[in-house]
Structure 1
Amino acid sequence: MPIGAQPPGRRGTVDEPYSALNLRLVLALFGFVVCTVLSVLLFRAGWTVPGWLLAAWALIAVGDAVVVQLRRRARARTEGGSDHSLFE
């Protein structure tokens, strides 16, 4: 394996690396699901302050997912709709 900033044949440079938008979208949706489930469980257990904190984090995860989806659509428009893997 060559030692360098990025494997050969990959898009992006050292100054402008490619973005993992699909992975970021999956992580945001995972964070939303986990925070929502834990928030509901904490509310049912009577712990309201941690429940509200997790509910706020769930809303932040939704906002992050919306921003990532907008960036993915913009990337698809500029690149002609090419498919990307989870890590691109």
Structure 2
Amino acid sequence: MNAARRGPPVPRSRSGVYGRRHERTGSEPATAQSAVRLRLLLSALFTPLCLAAAAGFALWAAASGGGSSPGSGPLWGIALACGLLGLLGAVDLGVLVARLRRERGGPR
């Protein structure tokens, strides 16, 4: 990409790794930030819940017989979906903890 077409670089006003990708075009305040503490709370709450649900559905799928309803296929699918949500929550939790440490200047 041609740097001359994009205009002057936008200053980093947040603690993100890459800074802003686009200039502000809306009416949001210049100091607007995401609700990091709410994301931290939700990730801490739902990560273990999703992982426990994944384990529960996997055990249910393993114990279900050939003619049972629901079948083992949909149960494995739900277990996989819950596991992926739990993994996504764990990654988000790690990113948020690292961001809070970086903003506060704490131990790394």
Band of TM-score, shorter chain = 0.5 to 0.7
TM-score by length of 1: 0.64
Q: Per-residue deviation at 1:46? A: 1.3
Q: Which moved more, 1:65-74 or 1:17-26?
A: 17-26
Pairing 1:34–2:56 present: yes
Report the counterpart of residue 55 of structure 1 in structure 2.
76
Alignment RMSD, CA only? 2.2
Pairing 1:74–2:95 present: yes
How many angstroms apart in 1 are the aligned matches of 2:53 and 2:61? 12
How many angstroms apart in 2 are the aligned matches of 1:40 and 1:47? 13
Select the structure with the greater relative contact order (CA < 8 A; seq sep ≥ 6). 1
Give the number of the structure whose residues are more often helix, by fraction: 1
Report the counterpart of residue 66 of structure 2 in structure 1.
46
| Structure 2, gaps ≥5 residues long | 1-33, 103-108
Identity %: 11
Q: Per-residue deviation at 1:32? A: 0.7
Match of 1:24 among 32, 42, 46: 46
TM-score by length of 2: 0.53
Partner AA of 1:37 in structure 2 = L
